[in-house]
Amino acid sequence: MHLQHPPLTLSRTSMLSSAALLGFAIILLLFPHWTVDDAYITLRYAQNLVTHGHLTWNLGMAPVEGYTGIVWPLLAAGAMWAHWPPLLVLNLVSLLSALAMVELVERVLVALGTDEARRLLARLILVGGGWWAVHAGSGLETTLYTALCVASVLAWLQHRPWTALLCLITALTRPEGVLLAVVLAAADAWRMRERPALWRLVGAWLGGFVLPGALYFAWRWSYYGQLLPNPFYVKSASGVASWLHVANFIVTTVLFPALAWRASRPTLVRVPQRELVMGLGGMIAVLLVFYGQSELLMNYGNRFFMPLLPFIIVGLAATWGELRWSKWLLIYGLLSGIFTIGAAVNAYNYALMMQSEHAAAAAWISEHVPADQTLAVIVDAGLVPYQTDMRTIDVGALNDPVLAHEQDAQARAAYVLNQEPAVVLLATGDLGVVAAAATRTALLADPRWQATYHLAQEFRRPHSFAYHQQVWVRNGTSLR
């Protein structure tokens, strides 16, 4: 005979819901300050835009689109133009976006007719695990993009006239937002198929998304000369699959919440807004397949997958009812706390590495190598190029269209050597990027490298053995 779990009462849910949001805000504020190296790529583009009027990686060279979406570098550029600390502004936007995302999910569930008990459980699961604390302080657009995705769905549910425009902003934050716009536009057409307002709907999407999006696309194609951002070619054309990343996301981020939800003894209810739920399910499936076939560079904390999590939780909450308490919810909470502590330790160690290795290397290069020389970086081309402001060859290829389309390691190494960089910042150990690691091996084995470059300095964080930064200088380079 099974024990009967008491149902969730209204007063209890209201109290716990407020406590969950307050606890979430405290975790976000107390989480160790850290900034992922790729965030400095955004700052370099923003700095070139504000200082020189060019949204590009290397001034005086053909523009390259090494950022993922234009909204994030424009936010950074706006902060620089206003003389505000750009990283502080970006992190503040990320933190507020994470908080807003939780409230937006709540409103989506209200619009779907979900009862308060299920909304509470959705909130508890959404803020658990420490995932959002990792992303809110990383310096990248993950939480802003997630909040915009949820806001777009809420606008659709509320029949807001600005839904298409909001989808456009979402797509300009990350290109995957285009797929969300397709889902919402198709769902719009389905629910309006027998009404005279259909033509007004078509006009709204044309005027709010298609035409301005086409104008932006035409500009960026003429400016950068590529159909898609340069990182797309690096991640999708490498031939390296990331199905383990997909499995990790499902097991660590989706499976545990689903088990906790199932353990609360739900009953299946009628699916509301079926066209929307089915469209979002299809979008999730398409993106998981796409990500599984790509090399996901810097997928810390399941960064590429996290914008899918709110929709998965919404799907659980919208289709399962009559929830009751379960010991599995307490177990999930305990696991979430353990993960948050582990994530905080990793963030602290990463920040220590950035300070003792990357920032120290940037200071040494700025002090000893003239700024008009060329720098090559293998593989973290973020903080060091930003702080040195030197012309930089990004061997990781995110900011180099030639390397992004070249897969042969020897050809990539020859490309770097032919440009005769005065200084090379080379990371030892596991680079996490297959093509860059192969290029490093080919470079070190090239006779020209062995005859032309010498090791000038090394930078290690405390207790680091495998991974550290080496500064190699071209023979004959005049050091200051």
| DSSP secondary structure, 388-432, as one string | H--EEEETTSTT-HHHHH---HHHHHHHHHHT--SEEEEE-S--S
Please state, in angstroms and rounded to a whole number, the distance separating the CA atoms of residues 299 and 141.
Answer: 13
For residues 354 and 38, the answer to whether their CB atoms sit within 8 Å is: no
57-78 pLDDT, tens digit each: 999 999 999 998 999 999 999 9
- Give the residue among 397, 47, 437, 386 at the shortest CA–CA distance from 231: 397
Q: For the domain bounded by 355-474, which CATH number is listed?
A: 3.40.190
Q: What is the mean pLDDT of residues 397-420?
A: 93
Confidence class of residue 6 from pLDDT cuts 50, 70 and 90? very low
pLDDT digits (tens, 9 = 90+) for 453-472: 999 999 998 776 678 999 99
Condensed to tens digits (0 to 9), the pLDDT of residues 273-311 reads: 778 888 998 999 999 988 888 888 788 888 999 999 999
- List, for residues 339-389, the tens digit of each pLDDT value: 888 889 999 999 999 999 999 999 999 999 999 999 999 999 999 999 999
In this prediction, what percent of the chain has a pLDDT beyond 70? 87
What's the pLDDT tens digit per position in 133-145?
999 999 999 999 9
Q: 184 with 153: CB under 8 angstroms?
A: yes
* pLDDT recorded at residue 5: 46
pLDDT of 321: 59
Convert the pLDDT of each residue in 416-451 to its tens digit: 999 999 999 999 988 878 888 999 999 999 999 999
| CATH 3.40.190 boundaries in the chain | 355-474
What is the average pLDDT across 22-44? 90
Those residues whose C-beta lies under 8 Å from the C-beta of residue 188, and which sit 6 or more positions away, are 156, 163, 201, 205
The pTM (predicted TM-score) of the whole model is: 0.92
In whole angstroms, give the CA distance from residue 429 to residue 427: 7
